[in-house]
Amino acid sequence: MKNWEKNMRQVVPYVPGEQPDEPDMIKLNTNENPYPPAPEVQEALKNLRADSLRLYPDCTAGALVHALAQYHGLSDDQVFVGVGSDEVLALSFLTFFNSKKPILFPDVTYSFYKVWAELFQVPYECPALNEDFEIEPGDYKKENGGVIFPNPNAPTGVVLPLEQIEEIIRSNPDVVVIVDEAYVDFGAVSALPLLDKYDNLLIVRTFSKSRAMAGMRIGYAMGNPKLLQYLSDVKYSFNSYTMDQTALVLGVEALKNEAYFQETLQKINDTREWTKEQLAALGFIFKDSKTNFVFAAHPDYSGEELFKALRAAHIYVRRFAGERVKEYLRITIGTREEMECLVRFLRKYTGSSK
Ligand SMILES: *Cc1c(COP(=O)(O)O)cnc(C)c1O
């Protein structure tokens, strides 16, 4: 070991889903949207001029913040934007989780939480989901330095009812509670109405899934203005210009066409319900998902075996390590045609005559 290596911050990084590029692939591994972004986004892209890149972008991201505030019926000082919700979440860990007491998040959840906790040296504990992969609000009533969970949870897809979310927030008035609503548009109830009641609540969202803009990297947080002021101070101490000019323009455009948004959500949700029926008929087990993915296992085949067989057929799904989840595949909902292809393959593989 070199001497300089003794001063390294050593981390075990988050491992993103792979981004293969094969012409015949069916990519169901990173919860991307199978439909294009709103047509307004394409139109605005055509009109972008290189000359506009000469200047720094608006460091307050004012136009996008305002558009989001309008969209959600909030004031501008209740919205904070960042480079994907991953950046918003990372800055939130840095800003809000500075207690010596452990922060709490579920044992089965978005695996990045643990990585940020390690990176920023935040102590953490992971209460176990119950047998049905549900969050038990009672587990979040012990002393802690903060709470974070997604609703619906990932990678399980399971929804926590709003009353139980409120129970967790109400029990934790002295710390910040973050609800990561990356998938909420696909059919869960948002914690947004609770913002007026609780100044310790932060809701985080992304354009990556429901708005089909994973490649543009836009995420945002909604919360009490005082809470967001702390977040903003940390952002300006790290990188004033997080959002690039193109993201600022296209983000605003993406919010303009509600009909298109609802139409694509409906298509994905319909395909999800169809996929659930098909998977159930093939003997897969899964919890009810209100997201754009299904987290499923088959009693007769290991997760590893199914993952490899699918991969060999150029059908990419996601699988996670960990005792409780290793037999499961997280299957993103693609187009109906893509899901038919997946089901055809699985039907053949499991030798079902159905
Ligand atoms: C995808 C995802 C994110 C990150 O989304 P980006 O906005 O693309 O960074 C955050 N949380 C959860 C639970 C996710 O699934």
**How far apart are the CA of 220 and the centre of ligand 1, in A?**
11
Together in a domain, 206 and 308: no
Residue range 156-199, pLDDT digits in tens:
999 999 999 999 999 999 999 999 999 999 999 999 999 999 99
**How far apart are the CA of 219 and the centre of ligand 1, in A?**
8
206 Cβ below 6 A of ligand 1: yes
Domain extent for 94: 39-254
Together in a domain, 247 and 263: no
Nearest to 84 by CA among 250, 205, 202, 255: 205
**Which pLDDT score, from 0 to 100, does residue 353 have?**
52
95 Cβ below 6 A of ligand 1: no
Q: Which residues of the chain have pLDDT under 70?
A: 352-354
Together in a domain, 115 and 233: yes
Contact 79, 69 (CB under 8 A): yes
Together in a domain, 111 and 90: yes
b/e 37-76 (16+ beta carbons within 10 angstroms → b):
bbebbeebeeeeeeeeeeeebeeebeebbebbbeebebee
Separation between Cα atoms, residue 219 and residue 236, nearest integer Å: 17
Together in a domain, 294 and 175: no
Report the CATH number that the domain containing residue 144 is assigned in CATH: 3.40.640.10
Q: For residue 291, is it within any domain?
A: yes
The CA-based angle 32-33-37, given to 5 degrees, is 125
Together in a domain, 25 and 63: no
Q: How far is CA 253 from CA 45, 84, 317, in A?
A: 10, 17, 31
Residue range 268-282, pLDDT digits in tens:
999 999 999 999 999
**Which pLDDT score, from 0 to 100, does residue 352 have?**
65
Contact 78, 224 (CB under 8 A): yes
Ligand 1, atom 5: closest residue by C-alpha: 85
**Which pLDDT score, from 0 to 100, does residue 310 have?**
97
Q: For residue 6, is it within any domain?
A: no
Q: Which of 206, 222, 254 is where one domain is finished?
A: 254
Where helices occur in the chain by DSSP H, the ranges are 39-47, 62-72, 84-96, 112-119, 162-170, 225-236, 245-254, 258-281, 303-312, 336-349
Q: How many domains does the chain have?
A: 2
84 Cβ below 6 A of ligand 1: yes
180 Cβ below 6 A of ligand 1: yes
**Which pLDDT score, from 0 to 100, does residue 16 have?**
86
Ligand 1, atom 15: closest residue by C-alpha: 182
Task: Report the Cα–Cα distance between both ends of the chain, in Å, rounded.
Answer: 59
Together in a domain, 286 and 140: no
Tokens of 13: 């990084």
Tokens of 314: 């150029």
